[in-house]
Each structure stands twice: as C-alpha cells, then as structure tokens.
Amino acid sequence: MFKESPIIRRLSRQIMVGNVPVGGDAPITVQSMTNTLTTDVAATVAQIKALEAVGADIVRVSVPTMDAAEAFKEIKKQVNVPLVTDIHFDYRIALKVAEYGADCLRINPGNIGREDRVRAVVQCARDNNIPIRIGVNGGSLEKDIQEKYTEPTPEALLESAMRHVDILDRLDFQQFKVSVKASDVFLAVGAYRLLAKQIDNPLHLGITEAGGLRSGSVKSSVGLGLLLSEGIGDTLRVSLAADPVEEIKVGFDILKSLKLRSRGINLIACPSCSRQEFDVISVVNELEQRIEDITTPMDVSIIGCIVNGPGEAMISDLGLTGSSKKSGFYLDGVRQKERFDNNNLVDQLEQRIRAKVELLDEKNKINVKEIE
C-alpha cells in the first residue's frame, strides 16, 4: 500500500491568503463559504467559527453591498481564519473591504467597469498585499462568449478566464488564483485541464452548484478527484446545498483518500455481510460522530469478521477484527492479548483511539522541540 501519495502536483507559484500559503509546495487548502446574511454579524461569526472548528483553512464571505462591507469590518475583528470577500461589479466595495482587512478579493477585473476602476482595485490589492481570485462560472459567461460558443464549453470557460488574467498581466499583478467552475463534471474538468497548461498561478478547484449532501459529495469527489489525481489544484471548495461544515468535512475526505493531506481519523470499515460478528454499521456511525473533534491523523480499521480483518488491522494504527462475543484488537499492526466485548465496542474503541492520539500528540511536541 502507498504510505504517501504517488501524485506529482503541478508546479504553481505561491500566494498568501492571510497567513495561509496557497500554491507552490503548500498543502492543498480546504475552504467553504458562509450562507448567513453578512449583515447579521453574530450569525456570520458563529458560522465562521464552526467552520474553523472542523479545520477550514479559508472562509469566503459574500459582500454584495456597502452595508455588508461595514458588517464585514466587525466580522473580521472576531475571527482568526483568513477571509475572502466575494464581490461582483462594484469596485467601491472592493476598496472598502481591503481597508477593513480582507485577506483576498474575489472579484473579476473585467467586470468592474472602466479602466480607472480596475487600476484602483489592483493598486489597492498591491498596496495592501492582498491577492485576487478570478472566478469564472459556466452559468454566467460573458454575453459575447455565450454567443460565440452557443453553450458552455471548456474552451469558453478558458477564454473568459484568460480575459481577466490578461488584464492583471497587463497591470503587472501576479498575486492571483483562478477558478473555472461548472456544475457539469466534464465541463469543469476540461476547463481546468486547459487552464493548467496556460498559466502557473494557483488554481481554485470546485464543481459549482454540485447538489445536496449525498449527490453533491459524489459529484465533487469524482470531478475534484480526477483533477487532483493529475496534480491539478492548490485549493478547493466542495459546493453543497447543505451545512457549510459538511463542505469542509467532504473536502478533507477527498484529500485524505488521495493521500494529499491527512487530518483526523481515517476509518477503514467493511460494508458488513452475514459473516459479521457485530453490527458494523452502527458501531462505525456512532464512533465517527464521537471522534469528529480529533485532528491527529490516524488509520483505524473496523472489520466485522476474520476474513479481511487481520490484513487491514496489520497496516492500521489501531484495528478491530470481528469474532464471536469478543473481537480481536490490534495496535500498530500487532495483535494484542486484550479482546473487546462486542456489546461495548464503541466505548472501548473511543477510549483506545484517544489514548493513542494523546501519545502521538506528545511525540509530535517532543519532535518539534528537538527541531527548535
């Protein structure tokens, strides 16, 4: 089995979103977007903190009006995670949120209007060391591009993106990242593949408007998985019609499955069959909820019988192999004399996982001190 990802990532330049590096050799970041009214400061802050709690590296906030910009000023004071401000058309809002500490401006320079307005935003971003995200969407292409291609195509998304890129190139501004999102997996993947060959700036991945929690997670996993497996992508958002917290969880699960990033417990569990010696599904579901707060990477296998159980347990940090009445327990691939009562598996597993996490965290602290 691969202990590390065999994926060779596309070389890209690095930008900083607040204190978070994006691109280059930095870890692929996971982000989400608030869906509260930005003018409701308390609700927006609460949602951002909930996203921080599950590991969000970056959070995007929509700022459609000057009132929202004033609210953003208060929001920024109360959170720690870098904030990207989502702005459309009104350059004055971009200038205002930059003044209030935005960590990135999501605004397409070609949609701002006159040349002097574009220059004002770019100069403000330069002066405040704020990157820009160009965001192209298959559902909102420029009218002339729609007429030229008659329907969204990868080439159409690329042409739209390069219009905005060319503006920033002309103004000698390179601190930007680009997305070419679409709700169709093949359209988005095709556009990102083309764009990856055209520029070396970081790419923000996403299958936009992917759907609900289940269908959207599947669609995003397929689309983002294809691109990430080819080394394309420096930051990502899983766009779900669901609690934004779920977007972060699914994003990390995608990266974890490709061994591009490790965060939290990687549960390896069998789908269960008539050979199972305990109720695998209920044990896994309850355990997963209990250990959501753990961020330390660890592989935990939970297999209901002895057919595949020992093999998985021997390559896991902690493993359980189903057996009658009491199940076998493995620690660091070694079978232990101790056996777990099948009537109380969740409590026993949680206790052992947390004990192992404590040891790993203490070991990491010692290693860090030695390096210092």
Could you report the per-residue pLDDT of 100-115, keeping only the tens digit for each? 999 999 999 888 888 8
Complete edge-to-edge strand list for the sheet that includes strand 326-331 = 265-269, 298-303, 318-321, 326-331, 334-341
Cα–Cα distance for residue pair 326/329, rounded to 1 Å: 9
Query: CA dist 93 to 16, 58, 121, Å?
Result: 21, 20, 10
pLDDT at residue 365, as a whole number: 72
Residue 1 has pLDDT above 60, yes or no: no
CB atoms within 10 A of CB 300: 24
Query: CA dist 90 to 67, 81, 109, Å?
Result: 13, 25, 10
Residue 239 has pLDDT above 60, yes or no: yes
Cα–Cα distance for residue pair 107/130, rounded to 1 Å: 12
Burial of residue 238, with CB atoms counted within 10 A of its CB: 0-12 exposed, 13-18 middle, 19 or more buried: buried
pLDDT at residue 186, as a whole number: 97
Task: Note the CATH number of domain 15-257.
Answer: 3.20.20.20
> Hunting for tokens 């209901």 — which residue is that?
304
Q: Mean pLDDT for the chain?
A: 94
Q: Is pTM, for the whole model, over 0.85?
A: yes
* CA nearest neighbour of 20 among 55, 56, 58: 58
Residue 71 has pLDDT above 70, yes or no: yes
Phi (first) and psi of residue 173, to 5 degrees: -120, 115
Class of the CATH-defined domain 265-371: alpha beta
| pLDDT mean over 259-278 | 91
Cα–Cα distance for residue pair 268/340, rounded to 1 Å: 18
pLDDT at residue 111, as a whole number: 86
Cα separation of the two ends of the chain: 33
Are 191 and 154 contacting, i.e. CB atoms less than 8 angstroms apart? yes
Are 318 and 331 contacting, i.e. CB atoms less than 8 angstroms apart? yes
Instruction: Please give the residue that has the higher pLDDT: either 264 or 234.
Output: 234
- Confirm whether 15-257 and 265-371 share one CATH topology: no
Query: CA dist 65 to 32, 58, 69, 187, Å?
Result: 21, 22, 6, 32
pLDDT at residue 262, as a whole number: 87
Q: What is the DSSP string of 117-172?
A: HHHHHHHHHHHTT--EEEEEETTS--HHHHHHHSS--HHHHHHHHHHHHHHHHHTT
pLDDT at residue 109, as a whole number: 87
| pLDDT mean over 6-19 | 96
* Extents of the domains making up the chain: 15-257, 265-371
CB atoms within 10 A of CB 325: 10
CB atoms within 10 A of CB 127: 9
Task: Dump pLDDT digits (tens) for 147-177.
Answer: 999 999 999 999 999 999 999 999 999 999 9
Burial of residue 12, with CB atoms counted within 10 A of its CB: 0-12 exposed, 13-18 middle, 19 or more buried: buried
Alpha-carbon radius of gyration of the chain: 23
Q: For residue 239, give the DSSP letter.
A: -
| pLDDT mean over 21-30 | 97
Task: Dump pLDDT digits (tens) for 183-219.
Answer: 999 999 999 999 999 999 999 999 998 899 999 999 9
SS3 39: coil
pLDDT at residue 5, as a whole number: 86
Q: Which two tokens stand for residue 130?
A: 């704020």
Task: Dump pLDDT digits (tens) for 359-372.
Answer: 988 887 766 555 55
Q: Which two tokens stand for residue 17?
A: 């979103």
The one-letter amino acid at 119: R
> How many residues does the structure list for the chain?
372
Q: For residue 109, give the DSSP letter.
A: G
pLDDT at residue 2, as a whole number: 63
SS3 235: strand
Burial pattern 245-284, b for ≥16 Cβ within 10 A else e, equals bbbbbbbbbbbbebebbbbbbbebbbebeeebbbebeebb
pLDDT cut 70: percent of the chain above it: 97
CB atoms within 10 A of CB 371: 6
